[in-house]
Amino acid sequence: MRIIVHGAGAIGCYVGGAWLAAGLDVSFLGRARMKAEVEAHGLHLSDVDGWTAEIAPADISFATGQAALRKADVVLLTVKSIGTEAAAKEIGRHLPKGATVISLQNGVTNAETLRRLLPKHRVVQAMVPYNVVHLGPGRWRRATFGDLTAADDEVTRALAAAIGEKPGRLKLVADMEGVAWGKLLFNLNNAINALSGLTILEEVKQRDYRRVFAAAIVETLDLLDLAGIAPAKIGLIGPRLLPHVIGAPDFLFRNFFLKVQKIDPQGRGSMAADFAAGRRTEVDYLNGEVVRLAERLGRKAPVNAAITDLVKQHELGVERVWSARDLREHVLGGHKGAAGFGY
Ligand SMILES: NC(=O)c1ccc[n+]([C@@H]2O[C@H](COP(=O)([O-])OP(=O)(O)OC[C@H]3O[C@@H](n4cnc5c(N)ncnc54)[C@H](OP(=O)(O)O)[C@@H]3O)[C@@H](O)[C@H]2O)c1
Closest CA to 289 of 188, 211, 172: 188
AA letter at 202 = E
- Give me the pLDDT at residue 339, please: 41
β-partners of residue 15 are none
CB atoms within 10 A of CB 214: 26
- Ligand 1 contacts (CB < 6 A) are 7, 9-12, 29-31, 34, 78-81, 83, 86-87, 90, 104-106, 128, 131-132, 270, 279, 282
Of 15, 47, 78, the residue with max ligand 1 atoms within 8 A of its CB, to mutate for a pocket test, comes to 78
Q: Is the dihedral of CA 64, 67, 124, 288 positive or negative?
A: positive
Whole-Å CA distances, 173 to 11, 105, 110, 259: 20, 16, 18, 29
Give residue 338's pLDDT band: very low, low, confident or very high (50, 70, 90): very low
Give residue 337's pLDDT band: very low, low, confident or very high (50, 70, 90): very low
AA letter at 273 = A
Quick one: average pLDDT of 203-221? 97
- Give me the pLDDT at residue 260, please: 81
- Give me the pLDDT at residue 335, please: 58
Question: What average pLDDT is seen over the chain?
Answer: 95
Closest CA to 132 of 119, 145, 121, 141: 141
Of 28, 31, 118, 141, the residue with max ligand 1 atoms within 8 A of its CB, to mutate for a pocket test, comes to 31
Give this prediction's pTM: 0.95
AA letter at 200 = I
CB atoms within 10 A of CB 252: 12
Radius of gyration of the chain (CA): 20
pLDDT at 334 over 80: no
Express each pLDDT in 40-71 by its tens digit: 999 999 998 899 999 999 999 999 999 999 99
